Amino acid sequence: MARTHVIGAGMAGLGAAVALARAGRAVTLWEAAPRAGGRCRSHHDAKLGCVIDNGNHLVLSGNGAVADYLATIGAADRLVGPAEACVPFVDIASGRRWAVRPNRGRLPWWLFSAARRPPGFGWADVAASLRVLRARPGATLGELLPAGPTRAGFWEPLVLAVMNAPLAEAAARPMAAVLRETFGRGGVACRPLVARTSLADTFVDPALAWLAGRGAEVKLGRRLQGLERNGDGGVAALRLDGGEAVALGAEDRVIVAVPPWIARTLLPDCPVPEGDSAIVNVHFRLDGPAPEPVPGVPLVGLVGAAAHWVFLRGDIASVTISAADDLADTAAEAIIATVWPEVAAALGLDATADVPPARVVKERRATFRQTPANQALRPPAERYGRRLLLAGDWTDTGLPATIEGSLRSGRRAAALALQNG
């Protein structure tokens, strides 16, 4: 029976393995780390005395690949969020608060309601949005979005969250794809969703259990050193640590679902995006449930602050600072001292009280640098044919480097692996 070997158990690899197993294909999932999840992982933190995630991942209700994946592995109920689309913001300098509330249908009448749209939103912003949707390949969002209150109060925090890049360098076309699939479908596709308890509990552990129940092999802590390729476009063997070689059959497939810097070592002729963008997260454990600025909405965007977003789960308030290359070498204590007053202001807490226990997590390679130049370097899944395929948020998904993009890439690679030829 033909077997597909998936290299890498991050979200792209898990997505590919689940799609293959669902179709009845024999699957072996290889992962160098001792646990699956890649950049979507969780661990128990001794200092805080609870489970925290390596970072915060926002999902929107319009993310179809996420919904399909979670439904398949029996974890559809592990994302939580408001019943209606609502994304609250606070300007830390002025204290002004507002919320973006798209209406459920496709006709965007919410843009004409001051209670639902960003402050200062006008016809120039409508025109700018249309320019983004029609963006040429080399355009950045900074070129297309006008200066003004809407840029600072809506576009900048949204783009930082989705693209992990400032407007001046963020490629416009992947953001346009997100807008079409979410805001373009109305508020029904714009509800913000977060993991109910942890990323691992939502995206990783249920997938591993589901795969095990269908006979898939999951091999953790097994690092791939190289691929022995044959003359017909396939792979003859996998070379592992210690010199072990795993021979592959003529009909076997391989999906390389690793980060771009590892893909380059395995496939030196593979084009990959150049450079990385960091994300810094700070997890605060409060002495009680974290207050939600808008009840039922587990997050708030910050404007005019070092922190960009605060995610709320129980007594944990988790800060995300995107495009944070300049903070990657800053001491944790200095980062905590900077962002805690902003978190306290956003949540209506006493900033003069003792700083609660906190943990700083720096993800130096959170995403590839999502510039127009790098968009042109993203390879298609089938670059090497259908016997050796690529998956990952850095491949040519048409989307930014997000969980949705990762899962979609895995599903695409799996569909190609299942085809004959």
pLDDT by residue (tens digit) across 23-70? 999 999 999 999 999 999 999 999 999 999 999 999 999 999 999 999
> Residue 19: which CATH number?
3.50.50.60
CA separation for the pair 201, 74 (Å, rounded) = 11
Pairing of strands 3-7, 253-256: parallel
Are residues 225 and 333 both part of a single domain?
no
Cβ neighbours of residue 138 under 8 Å, at least 6 residues apart? 372
Are residues 306 and 364 both part of a single domain?
yes
User: How many Cβ atoms are within 10 Å of 19's Cβ, its own excluded?
Assistant: 26
CA separation for the pair 146, 155 (Å, rounded) = 10
Please choose, from the candidates 347, 242, 247, the residue with its C-alpha nearest in 3D space to the C-alpha of residue 293: 347
- pTM higher than 0.75 for the full model? yes
Residue 383 has a pLDDT of: 96
Are residues 270 and 378 both part of a single domain?
yes
Structural domain includes residue 207: no
On whether the CB atoms of residues 52 and 42 are closer than 8 A, the answer is yes
DSSP state letters, 132-153? HHT--TT-BHHHHSPSSHHIII
Are residues 318 and 260 both part of a single domain?
no
How are strands ordered across the β-sheet holding 316-321?
Answer: 97-100, 87-91, 299-303, 309-313, 316-321, 276-285, 358-368
On whether the CB atoms of residues 340 and 358 are closer than 8 A, the answer is yes
Structural domain includes residue 214: no
Beta-strand (E) ranges in 138-210? 192-195
Residue 108 has a pLDDT of: 93
Domain that holds residue 246: 3-32+221-274+371-418
What confidence tens digit (pLDDT) does each residue in 178-216 have?
999 999 999 999 999 999 999 999 999 999 999 999 999
Are residues 62 and 118 both part of a single domain?
no
What confidence tens digit (pLDDT) does each residue in 371-392 have?
999 999 999 999 999 999 999 9
> Residue 329: which CATH number?
3.90.660.10
Q: Which two tokens stand for residue 386?
A: 């259908």
Residues in the chain with pLDDT < 50?
none
Residues in the chain: 421
Are residues 157 and 286 both part of a single domain?
no
Among 168, 187, 206, the domain boundary falls at 187
Are residues 19 and 72 both part of a single domain?
no
Residue 233 has a pLDDT of: 80
User: Structurally, how many domains does the chain consist of?
Assistant: 3
On whether the CB atoms of residues 324 and 280 are closer than 8 A, the answer is yes
